[in-house]
Amino acid sequence: MKIAFVGCGYVADMYRQCLDLHSGELELAGVYDRDSERLAAFTKTWGDRAYASLAELLAEPDLGVVVNLTDPENHAPVTRAAIAAGRHVYSEKPLGMTLSEARGLRDAAAKAGVRLAAAPSNILGEQAQTLWRAVREGAVGRVRLVYAELDDGMVHKADYRNWISRSGRRWPAEGEFETGCTFEHAGYVVTLLVAMFGPVRRVTAYASLLIPDKECDQPVHPAPDFSCGLLEFNGGIVARVTNSIVAPYDHRLRIVGDAGVLQVEEPWDFAGPVRLKRTATTRLDRFLERRFPLRKGRVVKAVRPVPFRSGRGRPPMDFLRGVSEFAEAVTAGRPGRMDADLAVHITEVTEMLQHPERYPRPATVSSQGECCGRWIGRSESRRKSHRPWITRRP
Ligand SMILES: NC(=O)c1ccc[n+]([C@@H]2O[C@H](COP(=O)([O-])OP(=O)(O)OC[C@H]3O[C@@H](n4cnc5c(N)ncnc54)[C@H](O)[C@@H]3O)[C@@H](O)[C@H]2O)c1
């Protein structure tokens, strides 16, 4: 299927680096960025066709999917323009910066008869599928509690001015600080949790801007750099989700059940191991747990080997897997895994985490019913029999 990128910034290089994983399946017709220097640097690096305008890109014959890789504040106008041109859209996350913006886009797509989906797609990765299978198979018994850390360290003190993408884009620190680490990262774990446990029912959150001075080269208006929220799922499971760019790097996701804990170190690393540690019950086990708290447990057998290697410029996740799944869904006329209803739900929960002042506390999630029609709301027994989504052979 023919696709085209709008936005040729930092993440566009990561998407482009994954294109060879989808040869014969996705064909990049061309790219566009309203910043002509950026567009030129990108097309010089990759040899792709540059469109002169968004209108020219949208008019490309047989274009299957517009991949919106603009910065979060520009997602809505670009997605809206593509929908108005009758194009299917896959958007980077978040779908919108507010629940109402995300809902507006979803409804506009439905009205126009086009399909809409959004990142993150790490739930389609081997690590997430392995984790999900272990949960389904009862590896930790009944799940009670989830701890999800998304602490990124003090990014404003890091040497991010030297974080340069393949085509020369400096990591957009100012934009990241203004969008907020919660909007940037929470979706990576909330999507996994919603896939495994169903829609979020209620959220109780706290967020704060702990370090207003981000020491940037130009003035910025940072969003909260710390948030902590409790997500309640049907069935009583509670997840504590923490986001910050203050506390030291820690991206552990721990799923605690009666019989043990499933743990991953990095929720967007497709090749990362899933570990299982049994609940300490004996005196000796409890002693060992206290004495050696870093013991991580045994590695769970993966659903399949990851069909690529990260490093040497290749990111740890296949950024185009969501686009590929979406293209397949559009072609087959079936619902997509990362469809707009899910993205609306993820956007609402994320907004509640980053901006708790906009909602009552605890906040009832209004979109919980909207995303449960397809794969998410399946009954527990059906979910148990549900196979991992990866069907393609490596
Ligand atoms: N930077 C990362 O590490 C990273 C990782 C994963 C996901 N993301 C997500 O990817 C998206 C893009 O982030 P980024 O880091 O690449 O940002 P970026 O600022 O480097 O790139 C965005 C590009 O979009 C272009 N753009 C903005 N509005 C446009 C418009 N109306 N028409 C055409 N071009 C337009 C900008 O000129 C810019 O080149 C965000 O949603 C972000 O959350 C970023």
Q: Which helix (H) or strand (E) holds 64?
A: none
Q: What is the pLDDT of residues 32-63, one digit of tens each?
A: 999 999 999 999 999 999 999 999 999 999 99
Please state the rounded mean pLDDT for residues 88-103: 97
Atom of ligand 1 nearest to the CA of 169: 20
Tokens of 394: 């490596």
Q: What is the 70 CA–ligand 1 centroid distance (Å)? A: 4
pLDDT value for 376? 39
Q: Which helix (H) or strand (E) holds 181?
A: helix 181-197
The hierarchical CATH code for the domain 126-310+340-348 is 3.30.360.10
Q: Whose CA is nearest to atom 32 of ligand 1?
A: 34
Q: Whose CA is nearest to atom 20 of ligand 1?
A: 9
Q: Whose CA is nearest to atom 4 of ligand 1?
A: 11
* Spatial distance between the Cα atoms of 381 and 391, rounded to a whole number of angstroms: 21
Q: What is the 388 CA–ligand 1 centroid distance (Å)? A: 30
For residue 90, pLDDT beyond 70:
yes
Q: What is the pLDDT of residues 352-387, one digit of tens each?
A: 999 999 999 889 999 887 765 444 333 333 444 444
For residue 103, pLDDT beyond 60:
yes
Q: Which helix (H) or strand (E) holds 182?
A: helix 181-197
User: Taking Cα atoms as reference points, which of 316, 307, 303, 314 lies closest to residue 272?
Assistant: 316
In the three-class reduction of DSSP (H, G, I as helix; E, B as strand; rest coil), residue 263 is classed as strand
Please state the rounded mean pLDDT for residues 197-212: 96
Pocket of ligand 1 (CB under 6 A): 6-12, 32-35, 38, 54, 69-72, 74, 77-78, 92-93, 169, 171-172, 175, 184
Annotated domain spans of the chain: 126-310+340-348
Q: Whose CA is nearest to atom 5 of ligand 1?
A: 11
Tokens of 225: 């750099």
What phi, psi does 88 have (nearest 5°)? Answer: -75, 145
pLDDT value for 215? 94
Q: Whose CA is nearest to atom 18 of ligand 1?
A: 9
Please state the rounded mean pLDDT for residues 233-253: 96
pLDDT value for 265? 96
* Spatial distance between the Cα atoms of 178 and 169, rounded to a whole number of angstroms: 18
For residue 336, pLDDT beyond 90:
no
Q: What is the 10 CA–ligand 1 centroid distance (Å)? A: 6
